[in-house]
Structure 1
Amino acid sequence: MKKTPFAALIAGLFALPALAFEPFAVQDIRIEGIQRTEAGTVFSYLPVKVGDTLDDEKAAQSIKALFATGFFKDVRVEVDDKVMVVVVQERPAIAQIDFVGMKEFEKDAIIKALKETGIAQGRIFDRAQLEKAEQELKRQYLSRGKYGVNITTTVTPLERNRVGINFNIQEGDAAKIRKINIVGAKSFPEKDLLSKFDLTTPGWITWYTKNDQYSRQKLSADLEKLKSFYMNQGYLEFAVDSTQVSISPDKQDVYITINVTEGERYQVSSVKLAGDFSIPESELKQLVTLKAGDVFSRERLNDSTKAIGDRLGKEGYAFANVNASPEIDKEKRNVAFTIFVDPGKRVYVRRINVTGNTKTRDEVIRRELRQMEGGWYDADRVQASKLRLDRLGFFNEVAIETPAVAGTADQLDVNLNVSEKPTGNLMLGVGTSSVDKVILSGSISQNNFMGSGNNVTAQVNSAKTYRTYVFSYTNPYFTKDGVSQGFDIYHRTVNTASTALAYYSSASTGGAIRFGFPIGEKESLGFGIGIDSTAITTYDNSPPQYKDYVNKFGSRNLSLPLTANWASDGKDSYLMPTRGTFQRASLEVATPGGDLQYYRANYQLQHFFPLTSKFTLMLNGEVGYADGYGSTPDMPFFKNFYAGGVNSVRGYKTSSLGTPGTIVTQDGTTYRIGGNRRVVGNAELLWSVPGMEKSFRMGAFFDAGQVYGKGEPLSFSEMRYSTGLSAAWISPIGPLKFSFGVPLNKKEGDKSESFQFQMGTTF
């Protein structure tokens, strides 16, 4: 039998057969040369089927179709007695990809990036795609400032028509920015302008931030910061003329030159409003912070237009256009602005769509929303909804979009996407000092139990001094109106033998039921009733005050405490607040129905001030007062206040502070018995770490505090002060908190504790 071959390449490129043949009806099709590719795959790409007439044109089309798949590097069509024979030579497949010398990147991340260029295990090997992969890998290194990187690629044939690809990488050192010059800046010192940049020359922290490595994206952002700075100082015509980035011959040093034109400084001659206001013009004018006579500031102008847009959005005008048009008088160096206001149509919310919640129930999210479906759009209510969801602590991120409904002019949807995070916490608390052993405590809690939004907590503290076993449950929506209900069951033992406190031991068992009532968007009231049984044991070396109390009131007391509290939370974030105020007041009263009658009152005020985009000042103040009343006017000593430790005055050992009226000396040893009044103040400068703004924050603190005995005057000369550094990290294994405190006015008998930390894991 005679076979008639066709030149594959010529036919593929020019659709002309090498040899002509008489057309014939195909009785069968045979595939030869395939090793990995299934015959059915080849058949699926052939434009010829059994029964079709094969001619020169159809043969050429078949060759072109198979070449187009990229599976084959050679294709021929032969004829064997009315049988169409397709002879192919497969391209090799990629069996493995290896990297030698790669330290800068994780292997999995690079393999994922190369896959987008067509190079991946199991895919057909293509030399052109390999060259693209090399360029992509080099681009990744250049983005990290490694301009001297050298990449050598080796392709090794393997059995069964496969190849292995090896990338041999000589990374070299990352190039560092040695100098940044700003040419044309006359009004401000260059060092002040460069302080606005993220890019910088090598410094003490650039090993972490990598800001001493050139990045086109970072430079663009820095140039925009530079422009904003000048614009906010009145330089309306400021411009960046050009930038030059040069690299030293050894590719280790980068030099950046920025050429600018400052222009003249302008003052505002007038600011007018024009357009359809829909809101009284007098009210909108109050939102304009840029006034006639002020030095021009783009930031203040933008804030004004945004405030007007937000005010219109509160009335349902979600698509309002507010734009400022300047009129520049170059001779007088004045600029007049006309702010054009176009509210557009008032719109309402068609649907609220919730996505991203794989665990949390829809109802748990929707009950926090203040914007309702079918109601007029209110920007303030949408923002309040986002803030309430943030405060739940269930989500890493809450994103809201408000797209217009296609085909309508007065409707929009609210698309709410949440990114859930682990809400279970396994916490370990650790305290240590040079003279004391390590003290451990732990708790396990689930703030979003089975996605219901309910809180379940079991706490265990097995330290030698304090042992605590607590089980708590809270339903924040016991009623649909937001009334919460919860209960606590506990057993606590105290043995002060190894502490700064006077020696005694106690065991308390009890429980409580509580309710919370929302009285505002940010405020709530809480009430509770409980029962507590406490047994007190004194020893030979216990202070007389303790022994006298037990002799007078007995070694076991039953109390029926009533509690009331008020809280107002205006912070902008649950985990990392940067602005807002938090207040809390609480009162505990032991009713006459029990053996003890006393009351304890506490008040806390905390405020966060944003100083800059990176720095926040936190001020915190706490006061407490307690006393007995009725038939037992003596305050139970085990209900006294204490100060010192990680939650009050850092740098001092827990509960170690006290005035003369709260100290007893026995056998040459000084002990604390606590007081009925407590004052604590904290000031802390907080700043975020670049690249970890939502998870890591450091601080420099100044703490002050003291407790006072009954009848003692509140003397600030008796206050104790400390300073130090702190760090808080929402890590992948859970929240971590560290502090290093140094007492500033430590006196004889005070006990210091420099390093304290708290760690935990989430699930």
Structure 2
Amino acid sequence: MTIKRLVAAILLATGSHSVFAEESFIVQDIQVEGLQRVALGAALNNLPFNVGDTVTDYTLSRSIRTLYGAGHFDDIRVFRDGNTVIYRLRERPTINNIEFDGNKDIKEEQLSESLAGNRIVVGEPLDKTILKNIENGLTEFYHGVGKYQAKVEVKVTYLPRNRVNLKFEFEEGDPASVRQINIVGNTLFSNDELLSVVESKQDMPWWRFWTSDRYQKQTLQGDIEKINSYYLDRGYLRFNVDSSQVAVSPDKTSVYVTLNVTEGEQYKISDINFVGDLIGQEEIIRSILPLEKGQLYNGALVTFTEENIARLLARFGYANSKVRTIPNINDDTKEVALTISVDPGKRVYVRRIDVKGNANTRDEVIRRELRQMEGAWLSNDALELSKERIQRLMYIEKVEFDTAPVPGVDDLVDVGFTIKEQPSGSFNAGVSYGSFQGLSFQIGVEQNNFLGSGNAAGISLNTNKYQKGVSLTYTDPYFTLDGVSLGGQLFYSDLDYSRASSNLEAYNQKRYGVGGSIGYPINEYNRLNFGGNVSVNKINSINEYDQLRHFRAVLLDARNPDGGYNFTNYELSAGWMHSTLNRGLFPTAGRMFSLTLRATTPNSDLQYFKTQFEAQQYIPLSRDHQWSFRSKLELGYGNGYGDKDGYDYTLPFTENFYGGGQNLRGFENRIIGPHAIFRGANVVPGVPDPIGGNSSFPSDPVNDNYNVSTRSIGGNAMAMLTLELITPTPFLKDENRNSVRTSLFIDAGNVWDTEFDINRYANLVQLRQDNREPLLVDYSDPGLIRASAGVSVQWISPMGPLTFSLAKIIKKYEGDLQENFSFNIGTTF
């Protein structure tokens, strides 16, 4: 009894401070002590009673929980002095600064975002109970990526005015390597065969530095799924990974992985049935079904089937369809009957389409490329096609779209297209002086998105010692709403190479004219183009060479041999283009074919035709398209048709194809192909004249001599092939990936003259002034292939496309001049 009385006395004494009896009392005053940052009113607002209210000890205990819930206090005590309630509070310190030290695997931005989710933010009160959870969570993250030696510690530094600095110190350590992976229970496939399909690698030798054997928990989980898929794709429907164990070595530098598996037996498909609503498309669905009765069960084909059906339903507006396959397994016969359940859901319609990000391009320019219409049902095919068409525009770098459900409605969505633009043209201007060209002035603007209209416009002016020219071009790709394009051009040029004595192709040409074009879309991927132009040409002061004999015969006036070559041509053109490229500039997937034919009309002074074919194919080698393979083939042929005064028309030398430079990197520009042959007569002495002089006469033409120019005059046939491996650009941020391209390339090709006859010079003597002049070869031979290899970097800069190439010649012939480094403005390969 004495002990009970003593305990009761102690309880009563304690209750006078912080524990109250159950009797109630009326609060006459509330006092709060210890506030520094928190306002008194804010603290009182969190109390469940006011002055004048009747309270009990339960009410007071509930008030403590309420104050703690506000998140401002570390310690709360309540006392009673008569009918006055006194709260003594200790506020949580305010976070003054957060610092990270030693973190490499986790970026500071990620850490800050994670801490903000736990209310660890500068300016907010600090809840120290959370810090330990954060330390444990970060340590667990490092263990998940194989860094078992990692340590994370949060140091708290207290400052005046109840503030603290937080410093997160990381000791990440080295990642543990996978020393060994054991698979137990497999008899059908060997360990090596199964490990060849997984990403985790074990105990890699030092020279395999490009392959990592670092252990990561997520990678292992993905590898288990890959092994499971490997068996399911081969009919082992009952395969199972029973358990997985990861043992860490005592020094925490290595892990040993063990997988226990049950393989089971192979199962064949006995039947395939459908349930649900096939929206009347059962015939199409069955025609695209890759599964057949009697074949081995294949998990990948089952998943592919589900995705194909869902994609087909999405074409008809059922964007939220659910397709799943239910297997009915017969373990006795080792067969499985598949029931494909199709729930199309409600057909979804598009309420509104928004376009954003197009600061320079008008909305209608983007919208006219859309194939998904407002008010129509939502079609994934139409959305993807819209994205492709927008991205093919030369002034668009990137396009993304998203769909957002309309609140309160389950069959309406809004579609948003986000556009990222890029420079849509090029600009160049300058004044320079050189000993060869003299004073030079040039200015030029080419714009594929003129004033945001989507129309292409260009103007260029240039002048120097040898050249003067001006040209104007304009094209409206949507002259009509259904995509008929219309364009036109004006041009004038005056080339004067007659004073360039070192240039064996010296001539003077004046040319001016006007042209127009019109294009018709056949479908989303094919287009026809037609055009015509009139050009007036005058060529004189030409340094005549032997291949011009037909050109000279049909144009030159025998009564005025110094009058030059004057001719007017009326030219018609037709072309076809097919393109499935995913982008206008720097594509990474798809193909492009183009075929063009230009020909002068019979009433032109020169009768000729010229045809060109180009094919490009891009094959992505990685999912993100950073690695891609490109092949490009260019073919060209031109010639004359008809004859005049017994001489056949030929392709004018001004229309020749050239090789070297951009289409054969590593070779100097216009160095590949036929060279000019200058034929001269030998002289024989004659009878002395009456005044004692000596006379001479040209000998028989069979005794002529000739020399060969150092540079090519081009040919009427051309074939060029490019193979290119597109690679990620080192040290480049992701946001610049679509404006810079790095590639490894191989170029090969030749330019030749189908009309050249080397037998004309078989018995003649070649004169060579120096070793720079090449020996004569058969310029009609298409087999004189040149080749080069190298690396190229292309950049879509604000001033236009810039291309840098470093190449080495693989195959060349005498007279070919190399150019290891080249720099070009205004074009991309």
TM-score normalised by the chain length of structure 2: 0.71
**Structure 1, unaligned runs of 5 or more:** 1-9, 430-440
Give the CA deviation at 1:44.
Answer: 4.3
Q: Which is higher, the Rg of structure 1 or of structure 2?
A: 2
For the residue of structure 2 that corresponds to 1:241, the secondary structure is strand
| Deviation digits for residues 678-712 of structure 1 (CA, Å, limit 9, x no counterpart) | 11233456677999898698766554321112414
1:590-605 equivalences in 2 (<5 Å): 598-605=608-615
User: CA 1:471/1:666 → structure 2, altered by over 3 Å: closer, same or farther?
Assistant: farther
Deviation at 1:641, TM superposition (A): 1.0
Aligned equivalent of 2:165: 164
1:343–1:164: structure 2 CA closer, same or farther, 3 Å change rule? closer
Give the letter aligned to residue 651 of structure 2.
M
1:91 has 2:103 as partner: no
1:749 aligns with 2:815: yes
Take 1:663 and 1:274, find their aligned partners in 2: how far apart are those partners? 83
Counterpart Cα distance in 1 of 2:125 and 2:144: 29
Task: Indicate how the Cα distance of structure 1 residues 510 and 123 shifts in structure 2: closer, same or farther if over 3 A, else same.
Answer: farther
Change (3 A) 1:344 1:95: closer
Q: What corresponds to 2:215 in structure 1?
A: 214
Residues 423 and 727 of structure 1: CA distance in aligned 2, closer, same or farther (over 3 Å): closer
Q: Does 1:643 align with 2:644?
A: no
2:185 is equivalent to residue 173 of structure 1 = no
2:581 counterpart residue number = 571
Q: Which moved more, 1:446-455 or 1:457-466?
A: 457-466
- Alignment-derived partner of residue 693 in structure 2: none
SS at match of 2:230: helix
Q: 1:318 to 1:23 in 2, by over 3 A?
A: closer
Pair 1:679-2:745 in alignment: no
Q: For the structure 1 residues 697 and 348, does the alpha-carbon distance in structure 2 shift closer, same or farther, using more than 3 Å as the test? A: same
Amino acid of the structure 2 residue aligned with 1:481: D
Counterpart AA for 2:580: G
1:626 aligns with one of 611, 614, 638: 638
2:199 is paired with a residue of what secondary structure?
coil
Partner of 2:423: 424
Pair 1:585 & 2:595 matched: yes
Distance apart, 1:726 and its partner CA: 6.5
Q: Secondary structure at the match of 1:718?
A: coil
Within the alignment, does 1:656 sit opposite 2:671 as a pair?
yes
Deviation at 1:582, TM superposition (A): 1.7
Provide the secondary structure at the position in 2 that maps to 1:717.
coil
Provide the C-alpha distance between the structure 2 equivalents of 1:24 and 1:474, rounded to a whole number of angstroms.
86
Mapping 1:354-373, distance limit 5 Å:
354=354, 356-357=356-357, 359=359, 362-373=363-374
Which of 743, 746, 755 pairs up with 1:711?
Answer: 755
**Partner in structure 2 of residue 481 of structure 1:** 482
Do the aligned partners of residues 186 and 118 (structure 1) sit closer, same or farther apart at CA in structure 2, a change above 3 Å counting?
same
State whether residues 404 and 413 of structure 1, in contact with CA within 8 Å, keep that contact through their aligned partners in structure 2: yes
CA contact (8 A) 2:614 2:635 kept: yes
Structure 2 CA distance for aligned equivalents of residues 733 and 116 of structure 1:
44
Q: Which moved more, 1:135-144 or 1:253-262?
A: 135-144
Conserved 8 A contact 2:658-2:714: yes
Contact 1:609–1:618 under 8 Å retained in 2 = yes
| Aligned partners of 1:697 and 1:729 also within 8 Å | yes
> Can you list the C-alpha shifts for 1:36-72, whole angstroms capped at 9, x where unaligned?
34455445445566x7558666766655544332223
**How far apart are 1:520 and its partner, in Å?**
0.9
Q: Shift in Å at residue 611 of structure 1?
A: 7.9
Distance, in Å, in 2 between the alignment partners of 1:45 and 1:272 is 63
Deviation at 1:384, TM superposition (A): 2.8
Conserved? CA contact 2:269–2:295, under 8 Å: yes
Aligned residue number for residue 698 of structure 2 = none
Answer whether contact 1:425 1:443 (CA < 8 A) is retained.
no
Structure 1 CA distance, aligned partners of 2:346 and 2:452?
A: 36
Distance 1:302 1:642 in 2: 52
The separation in 1 between residues aligned to 2:568 and 2:187, in whole angstroms, is 77
Would the aligned equivalents of 1:184 and 1:259 in 2 still touch at CA under 8 Å?
yes
Question: CA, structure 1 residues 89+405, in 2 after alignment: closer, same or farther (shift >3 Å)?
Answer: closer
Mapped partners of 2:263, 2:276: distance in 1: 33
Q: Cα–Cα, structure 1 residues 156 and 526, in superposed 2: closer, same or farther, change >3 Å?
A: same
Equivalent-residue separation in structure 2 for 1:228 and 1:76 (angstroms): 61
Is the CA contact 1:491–1:508 (under 8 Å) kept in the aligned structure 2? yes
Shift of 1:426: 7.5
Amino acid at match of 1:253: S
Q: Please say which of residues 684-693 and 394-403 is displaced more in the overlay.
A: 684-693
Give 1:427 shift. Answer: 7.2
Distance change >3 Å, CA 466–CA 324, structure 1 → 2 = farther
Letter in 1 for 2:785: M
Selected match of 2:786 from 720, 724, 730: 720
Aligned residue for 1:219, secondary structure, equals helix
Q: Please, which of 518, 522, 526 is the counterpart of residue 523 of structure 1?
A: 526
User: For residues 615-640 of structure 1, what are the alpha-carbon distances to aligned partners after superposition, in whole Å with 9 as ceiling and x for unaligned?
Assistant: 86544322112345688945343332
2:400 alignment partner in structure 1: 398
Q: 1:153 to 1:238 in 2, by over 3 A?
A: same
Q: Which amino acid aligns with 1:747?
A: Y
Q: Structure 1 residues 173 and 462 mapped into 2: Cα distance closer, same or farther (>3 Å)? A: farther
Letter in 2 for 1:258: L
RMSD of the TM alignment (CA)? Answer: 5.4
- Deviation string 1:75-94 (CA, Å, 9 cap, x unpaired) is 56789999987664432211
The one-letter code sitting in structure 1 at the alignment partner of 2:118 is T
Indicate the SS of the match to 2:421: coil
Q: Where does residue 300 of structure 1 map in the other structure?
A: 301
Whether the aligned pair in 1 keeps the contact of 2:484 and 2:521 (CA below 8 Å) is yes
Could you tell me which amino acid in structure 1 is paired with residue 347 of structure 2?
Answer: V
Amino acid paired to 1:354: D
Q: Distance in 1 between matches of 2:603 and 2:610?
A: 17
**Contact 2:34/2:90 (<8 A) preserved:** yes
Residue equivalent to 1:155: 156
Q: Give the SS at the match of 1:303.
A: helix
CA separation in 2, counterparts of 1:187 and 1:238? 11
What are the equivalent positions in structure 2 for 1:182-261 lying under 5 Å apart? Answer: 182-201=183-202, 212-261=213-262
Q: Is the 8 Å Cα contact of residues 541 and 564 (structure 2) preserved in structure 1?
A: no
SS at match of 1:118: coil
Partner Cα distance (1:135, 1:459) in 2: 66
State the Cα distance separating 1:191 from its structure 2 match.
4.0
Q: Give aligned pairs, total.
A: 729
Q: Distance in 1 between matches of 2:248 and 2:463?
A: 61
Deviation digits for residues 224-254 of structure 1 (CA, Å, limit 9, x no counterpart)? 2333333333333333233333333333334
**Partner SS for 1:658:** coil
Counterpart Cα distance in 2 of 1:758 and 1:257: 57
CA separation in 2, counterparts of 1:417 and 1:583?
Answer: 32
How far did 1:444 drift? 7.8
Letter of the structure 2 residue corresponding to residue 584 of structure 1 = S
* Kept after mapping to 2: 8 A contact 1:99/1:167: yes
Q: Deviations over 1:156-204 (max 9, x none)?
A: 2223321112233333223333444444444445444334333335589
Partner Cα distance (1:230, 1:392) in 2 = 45
Task: Look up the equivalent residue of 2:671 and give its one-letter code.
Answer: S
Inter-CA distance 344–644: structure 2 relative to 1 (3 Å threshold): same
Measure, in 2, the Cα distance between the counterparts of 1:677 and 1:259: 66
Task: Compare 509-518 and 704-713 and name the one that shifted more.
Answer: 509-518
Distance 1:182 1:232 in 2: 19
Instruction: Tell me the distance in 2 between the aligned counterparts of 1:290 and 1:498.
Output: 75
Instruction: Summarize deviations over 1:484-531 as a string: whole Å, max 9, x none.
Output: 345567788989999999567878777765443322121122344557
Contact preservation (8 Å) 1:424, 1:447: no
